Amino acid sequence: MTGGPIARRALGLVADLHPEEGTTALLMAANGFLLLMAYSCIKPVREALILAHPGGAEYRAYAAGATAVLLLVAVPAYSRVSARLPRNRLVVGTTLFFTAHLVGFYAFGATLGSTLPFALAFYLWIAIFNMMIVAQFWAFANDLYTEEAGRRLFPLLGFGVSLGAVAGAATAKTFIAHMGALLMMPLAACLLLASACISQWVHSREVRCAKTATARAAATEVVGGSAGDAFREVLKERYLLYIAGFSLLFTLVKTNGDYVLARAVEDAANQAVAAGALPASHLQNYIGGVFASLTFWVDIISLAIQGLVVSRVVKHLGFGAAFCALPIVALGDATLMAAWPVLVAVRIGKTAESATDYSLNNTVRNMLWLPTSRRAKYLAKQATDTFFVRAGDISSAGLIFVTMQMGLPPRAVAMSNVILVVAWFMLAGAILRQRATLLQPEDGGASIGRQPLAQLA
């Protein structure tokens, strides 16, 4: 591993690295840092563009459904491209594809101005970009590492991702005020370009260091697939179907909780205005301040968990305990919201839930793909981490609409989360049992960790 004793001890706090793994692991952590920094730099831009227009908040609310429809086109297109490309050209090409879009958006906005169609197009684009580029990063990581190595090294990669999100948010906060929102687009494009270079570097290095001709050939062969493979394999393989259901369910619970939080913030602000404690003209600033503070603490706590806790939980308590940590926290959060739906309680619960989600849960849910085939990693993972996650958002919107039509308070949504988390526990148990079966040694030999989950060709 590169670096001196101090560097090795520092990295040892985050992950358990073997000496020969240091360079690639650090490059992949830097790759995740760049990708999430790029996204976090342009995330505030989408809000600034769309909310500057009348009815922007309503357009924003409708975007989830439109994004899901677009993903039904984008994911099969990604699958079709994968049929002709090896992993490095797929990963690098997709990254450069999105980079070119950012340059185009900047040129259009700087020349013709931020019209409503422009704002809507960018809002939908960034929703697809974020989901697909992050899914691809973790697919690439799953392709590089065995089950055993992934359990040890994914906490370091996740730390890079978390640190990138914090750095991007801080950069956006500083630069937008001085440079304007649009200039964040070419900055993000430069970060993506650097990420593409690192991806190619990692691929070339791993091919060069491959111990056998078979491993070298496997790393350079095309990913393969067809337009329908991504969704087809999710529905055909029980393990993948369980993961898709888990992605939908935990997103549904999370989005429901976000709604309860938003209503609690809104109610607290209105009560403060009614009591004369808050001038009506400061209402928007108050709400923005609450969410800014919440985001700050979630980012800081999740970074601390990622750096100091995740690897230790996975190593000492096991994957099963790590995988069940978020539903345990979510159950406590939902119960607290249902029993005491005031801002202070809801804020504490959502901070704990979001910080656990962005750190521990994000790492272990990507570990779920380690025992699967390359085709599943790149194609089925795209469908699961994009469309099925967005389907969870849409399901939440439907549930909230029904409760509002029935005249029920936000507490009803929190109570529904309690029931949903119980179902989540049952699904988590099914996933863990199926995963254990997949990892059983075959014929007294080695684990199937790197063997295909299904013959997808």
pLDDT, residue 6, reads: 55
Higher pLDDT, 343 or 35: 35
- Short-list 284, 356, 313, 319, CA closest to 436: 319
What domains does the chain contain, in order, with CATH numbers? 7-226 (1.20.1250), 238-438 (1.20.1250.20)
Angle between helices 116-144 and 389-405 (to 10 degrees): 130
Res 7: pLDDT = 57
The answer to whether 359 touches 303, Cβ cutoff 8 Å, is yes
CB atoms under 10 Å from CB of 77, counted, come to 11
Q: How confident is the model at residue 457 (pLDDT cuts 50, 70, 90)?
A: very low
Amino acid (1-letter code) at residue 137: F
List Cα–Cα distances, 417 to 49, 191, 249, 260, in angstroms.
33, 38, 10, 11
User: 420 vs 289, which has greater pLDDT?
Assistant: 420
Close Cβ partners of 293 (under 8 Å, ≥ 6 residues apart):
none
- 414-442 average pLDDT score: 91
pTM: 0.84
Residue 222 β-bridge partners: 86
Q: Is the pLDDT of residue 445 over 80?
A: no
Q: What percent of the chain has pLDDT over 70?
A: 89
The pLDDT tens digits for 106-125 are 999 888 877 888 888 898 99
Alpha-carbon distance 261 to 291, whole Å? 10
Lowest mean pLDDT: which of 41-55, 176-190, 221-235, 345-359? 41-55
Q: Residues with Cβ < 8 Å from 339, sequence gap 6 or more?
A: none
Report, as an integer, the average pLDDT of 134-157. 92
Residue 448 pLDDT: 34
**Lowest-pLDDT range of 169-178, 193-202, 382-391:** 169-178
Q: pLDDT (tens digit, 9 = 90+) per residue, 164-184?
A: 988 988 888 788 777 778 888
Q: Are 30 and 160 in contact (CB under 8 A)?
A: yes
What tokens appear for 377 in the block?
């990693």
Cβ atoms 346, 187 nearer than 8 A: no
Taking only the tens place, the pLDDT of each residue in 260-288 is 888 888 788 888 888 888 887 776 567 76
